[in-house]
């Protein structure tokens, strides 16, 4: 039973990492065709950390809360936090020292 649970956990982690890699391929490919997209290694690293953490929190939320009302609320809040952090890092909508511009 424990081996099956471990296999499921590894499969979920592999799925999350694969999705993050596919998302990060978008700016990598765009950088080959336009100068408008100009990401450094640090940009990719921060995006990978942010997306992986969000994916793991999504997975935790889906496993932890069985009632769809609470689960959906937490998922929406996680997604909103991802978007706000991403926007702050990209263009500085809140004016913190972490702003990208």
For residue range 55-86, list pLDDT tens digits in order.
Answer: 999 999 999 988 888 899 999 999 999 999 99
pTM for the whole thing? 0.87
Residue 33 pLDDT > 70: yes
Side-chain half-sphere CA neighbours of 86 within 13 A: 14
Q: How far apart are CA 3 and CA 11, in angstroms?
A: 12
28-57: average pLDDT = 96
Q: How far apart are CA 6 and CA 20, in angstroms?
A: 21
Q: How far apart are CA 93 and CA 101, in angstroms?
A: 10
């Amino acid at each position: 039973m424990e081996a099956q649970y471990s296999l499921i956990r590894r499969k979920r982690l592999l799925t999350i990492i694969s999705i993050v890699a596919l998302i990060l391929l978008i700016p990598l490919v765009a950088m080959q065709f336009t100068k408008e997209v100009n990401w450094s290694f640090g940009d990719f690293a921060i995006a990978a950390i942010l997306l992986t953490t969000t994916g793991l929190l999504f997975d935790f939320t889906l496993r932890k809360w069985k009632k769809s009302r609470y689960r959906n609320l937490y998922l929406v809040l996680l997604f909103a936090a991802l978007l706000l952090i991403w926007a702050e890092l990209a263009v500085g909508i809140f004016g913190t020292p972490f702003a990208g511009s």
